Amino acid sequence: MWWIIIIALFLIICFTVANSTTKDIEDKEKIKFSNQGYHYIGFSGMIYKGGINNISVNNPVSISLLEEGINFHSGVIDKTISFDSIEDMSLQSQQYIQNQVSLGKLVCFGILAFGMSGKQNSINDEYIVLNVDDENEQYSVLLQAYEPKDNQKRFNIIETHRNNNRKY
- Considering only CA atoms, which of 40, 45, 29, 42 is closest in space to residue 155? 45
Give domain status of residue 11, yes or no: no
Give domain status of residue 4, yes or no: no
Reported confidence tier of residue 100, pLDDT bands at 50, 70, 90: low
* Contact assessment for residue 139 and residue 53, using Cβ atoms and an 8 Å cutoff: yes
Q: Classify residue 140 as left (phi > 0), alpha (psi -120 to 50) or beta.
A: beta
- 19-57 pLDDT per residue, tens: 555 566 677 777 787 788 888 888 777 889 888 888 888
Domain count, the chain: 1
Between the two ends of the chain, the Cα-to-Cα distance in Å is 65
In whole angstroms, what is the distance from residue 78 CA to residue 131 CA?
19
Indicate the residue type of 112: L
pLDDT of residue 113: 45
* Strand spans (E) along the chain: 40-43, 46-50, 62-66, 69-74, 77-82, 86-93, 126-134, 137-145
- 61-77 pLDDT per residue, tens: 888 889 999 999 888 88
Give domain status of residue 6, yes or no: no
In whole angstroms, what is the distance from residue 23 CA to residue 31 CA?
12
Bridge-based pairing state of the strands 46-50 and 126-134 = unpaired
Q: The CATH number of the domain where 53 resides is what?
A: 2.30.29.30
Mention every residue, 6+ apart, whose C-beta is less than 8 A from residue 49: 57, 127, 142, 143, 144
Mention every residue, 6+ apart, whose C-beta is less than 8 A from residue 140: 51, 129, 130, 131, 132
pLDDT of residue 111: 46
Give domain status of residue 23, yes or no: no
Is the pLDDT assigned to residue 116 strictly greater than 60? Answer: no
Give domain status of residue 69, yes or no: yes
Give domain status of residue 8, yes or no: no
Give domain status of residue 43, yes or no: yes
Name the residue range of residue 114's domain: 36-165
In whole angstroms, what is the distance from residue 69 CA to residue 55 CA?
17
- Considering only CA atoms, which of 146, 142, 143, 97 is closest in space to residue 123? 97
